[in-house]
Amino acid sequence: MIGVDLGGTKILAGIVDADGRIEETVEVATPMTSQDELVDALTGVVEELRTPEIAAAGFGVPGWFDARTGVVLGAANVPLGDLAFSDVLSARLGLPVAAANDANVAALAEHRLGAGRGLSDLVLLTLGTGVGGGVVIDGRLYRGWAELGHIVIVENGEPCPGAGCTGFGHVEAYCTGVAADRLARRVLGPQATARDLIEQRHPALAEIGWHLGTAIGSLINIFSPELILIGGGFGSAAGDLLIEAARPVIEREALSPGAERTRLAVAELGPEAGLIGAALLALDELE
């Protein structure tokens, strides 16, 4: 199986075995000029890795799909939209292709092979440049949008920085590495970054943790999952600090006994969760 994680700066692809082990990877910069060039690059990385044993390819894409048709309706930070993604890639590659949102497939990977092994229900929030989400319900990946970064937590709040998003007060306006960089400059000076806040375990991170806790409270009241995972680049690095700061507001916002029943943890699979999850999705759909 080949898994491909399409990101806003790079495309990471790899051969993944049935146990989720990565055997070989290829990485290229993400072409940002046009959809055609992007599709060329995506087929290119698969062709480069492909051997006669490869039965299918899976893609994690930073966009939202029509679950029934597989059409990418919109995407953040990459030039994709209104594209019958799986059909087009499958025709180009002559291979079965599966595709879903990148954070969705990361949730699948965490459920199968990471922090959520054996659980029935989990929610993953990926905090990076943006905020993504994935939900597993009854042991299966939920295929609705699950754009959890675009839940409103502050009505009429800060403008959402997501590309093409016109909303205000979304999680993505408060809980990203970008927001943490801004916070670092405010509290530590113009040269500081999110990394400095994390290294110093700076109490100012509680501000981001509070916003995250507000979102998590809502997510518990909606999904009552066994586990909520914090992943993504910023989330994996700051997760423990953010979870600690989020707890009081989660206890306040979640209906009882949600705060006690839902475990919070940092995602385990790191930056390769998307690649692995994309391959697992292809494996699932092939079966």
How would you label 253-262 residue by residue, b for 16+ Cβ within 10 Å and e otherwise?
A: bbeeebbeeb
Any idea what DSSP says for residue 271?
G
How would you label 101-131 residue by residue, b for 16+ Cβ within 10 Å and e otherwise?
A: bbbbbbbbbbbbbbbbeeeebbbbbbbbbbb
User: What minimum distance in Å lies between the beta carbon of 251 and a copy of itself?
Assistant: 8
Kindly state whether residue 73 participates in binding a copy of itself, applying the rule CB under 8 A: yes
Kindly state whether residue 175 participates in binding a copy of itself, applying the rule CB under 8 A: no
User: What minimum distance in Å lies between the beta carbon of 47 and a copy of itself?
Assistant: 32
Which of 178, 200, 224, 247: binder of a copy of itself (CB under 8 A)? 224
Cβ atoms of residues 266 and 235 within 8 Å: yes
Q: Is 116 left (phi over 0), alpha (psi -120 to 50) or beta?
A: alpha
- Beta-bridged to residue 218, according to DSSP, are none
Neighbour count for residue 191 (Cβ, 10 Å): 8
Kindly state whether residue 255 participates in binding a copy of itself, applying the rule CB under 8 A: yes
Cβ atoms of residues 79 and 35 within 8 Å: yes
Which of 6, 16, 198, 223: binder of a copy of itself (CB under 8 A)? 223
Stretch that binds a copy of itself, among 8-16, 47-55, 64-72, 191-199 (CB under 8 A): 64-72
String marking each residue 2-41 x if it binds a copy of itself according to CB under 8 A = ----------------------------------------
The smaller minimum CB distance to a copy of itself, of residues 44 and 157, is found at 157
Using CA atoms, how far apart are residues 5 and 151, in angstroms rounded to an integer?
24
Kindly state whether residue 248 participates in binding a copy of itself, applying the rule CB under 8 A: no
Using CA atoms, how far apart are residues 4 and 242, in angstroms rounded to an integer?
29
Kindly state whether residue 85 participates in binding a copy of itself, applying the rule CB under 8 A: no
Which of 29, 32, 55, 222: binder of a copy of itself (CB under 8 A)? 222
**Tokens linked to 98:** 């599966």
Kindly state whether residue 163 participates in binding a copy of itself, applying the rule CB under 8 A: no
The smaller minimum CB distance to a copy of itself, of residues 13 and 151, is found at 151
Angle at 178 between CA 8 and CA 114, to 5 degrees: 65
First-to-last alpha carbon distance for the chain, in angstroms, is 12
The smaller minimum CB distance to a copy of itself, of residues 60 and 225, is found at 225
User: What minimum distance in Å lies between the beta carbon of 264 and a copy of itself?
Assistant: 17
Which of 217, 231, 232, 277: binder of a copy of itself (CB under 8 A)? 217
Look at residues 64, 60, 74 and name the one whose alpha carbon lies nearest to residue 6.
60
User: What minimum distance in Å lies between the beta carbon of 228 and a copy of itself?
Assistant: 13
Cβ atoms of residues 48 and 27 within 8 Å: no
Cβ atoms of residues 1 and 19 within 8 Å: no
The smaller minimum CB distance to a copy of itself, of residues 200 and 224, is found at 224
User: What minimum distance in Å lies between the beta carbon of 73 and a copy of itself?
Assistant: 6
Instruction: By CB under 8 A, name the binding residues for a copy of itself.
Output: 64, 67-68, 73-74, 120-121, 133, 137, 142, 144-148, 150-155, 157, 162, 164-170, 211, 214-215, 217-218, 220-225, 251-258
